[in-house]
Amino acid sequence: MTTATITPGASRTLKNHVSIAQTVQNSFSMAARGLIKIRRTPEQLIDVTVQPIIFTLMFTYIFGGAIAGSVADYLPTLIPGILVQTVITTSVVTGVQLREDMDKGVFDRFKSLPIARIAPLSGALLADTVRYAIATTLTFTMGFIMGYRPGGGFGFVVLAGLLVIACSWAISWIFAFFGVIARSAASVQGISFLVLFPLTFLSNAFVSPDTMPDWLAAFVNINPVSHLVTAVRELANSGAWTADAGVALLGAAVIVAIFAPLTVRAYMKKA
């Protein structure tokens, strides 16, 4: 009679040699876990369901008449701006939930499973694209209810939404990195506020830079969020793919190229 011996570290060695196909499968399984968490605690969707509605109503009726002369004239400017602000802000949740899972020991339990070590991280990033899609759909729907009629047509509206989702997914790598290295979920939220608040509000999302002081307009014009907002406006309102869309995608690619390796390296040290 023979006895099987389990060598310490064998499970970790196995994970290091997981195939690409199994890594993809594990990532989708972890993404499904994230969606199940949302189904069981639907209040997690408050930021992508309530925020677009409240912000659209508030900004439209407070600033519409003063900035554009009427609500109808302001909607083509506001809806793309609200869309970008809402979806980008939602990307913070990736880092916050990662930190919470690590603090609760969830990721420690994942270490004992015969899955790819990167799957919990990639699955979380994948699951959050659903949140971005919900926020995008609700923002355009709310605008349509209020009278927004994008001139680019349905196809370009979908393309504008996909552009925002892609850029927000790229930005989520930044907050995933902070989620891995930060000491608490609260610190991730604090860091995100310092990063996103000036970028979203000091942009052309709500007001044209022409009405701003020269020094502020200079910052707004080079702000990457402004390029994304302009790209979304041109796609949705005019059906045009402009240089701003290319700049937005290039910026997203640069963010992923920098923060994806940093996040994965930091995560692997703790996984």
State pLDDT tens for residues 206-263: 988 988 899 999 999 999 999 999 999 999 999 999 999 999 999 999 999 999 899 8
| pLDDT score, position 15 | 47
CB 196, CB 188: distance < 8 Å: no
Q: Specify the pTM.
A: 0.85
Number of C-beta neighbours around residue 163 at 10 A: 22
Q: What is the mean pLDDT of the chain?
A: 84
| pLDDT score, position 271 | 59
Evaluate the CA torsion angle 3, 9, 12, 14 in order and state its sign. Answer: negative
**Residue 222: burial class (beta carbons within 10 Å; 0-12, 13-18, 19+):** exposed
One-letter amino acid identity for 108? D
Residue for token pair 């640069």:
254
| pLDDT score, position 82 | 92
| pLDDT score, position 12 | 47
When comparing pLDDT for 214 and 118, which is higher? Answer: 214
| pLDDT score, position 117 | 75
Token pair of 254 as six digits: 């640069």
Mind listing the pLDDT tens digit for each residue in 67-111?
878 888 899 999 999 999 989 988 888 888 888 878 877 777 777
Say yes or no to pLDDT of 4 above 70: no
When comparing pLDDT for 64 and 7, which is higher? Answer: 64
First to last CA, the chain: 36
Of 24-28, 92-96, 157-161, 164-168, which range is least confident? 24-28
CB 220, CB 212: distance < 8 Å: yes
Q: What CA–CA distances, in Å, run from 31 to 24, 26, 78, 119, 250?
A: 10, 9, 32, 9, 26
User: Could you tell me which of 140, 96, 168 has the C-alpha nearest to residue 235?
Assistant: 140
Say yes or no to pLDDT of 132 above 70: yes
| pLDDT score, position 169 | 92
Mind listing the pLDDT tens digit for each residue in 8-31?
444 444 445 667 778 788 877 888
What is the mean predicted confidence (pLDDT) over 132-159?
92
| pLDDT score, position 7 | 46
- Rounded Cα gap, residues 162 and 164, in angstroms: 5
Concatenated DSSP letters for 58-86? Answer: HHHHHHHHHHHSSHHHHHHHHHHHHHHHH
Question: Using 50, 70 and 90 to split pLDDT, how confident is the model at 43?
Answer: low
Q: What CA–CA distances, in Å, run from 78 to 17, 61, 73, 165?
A: 49, 11, 9, 18
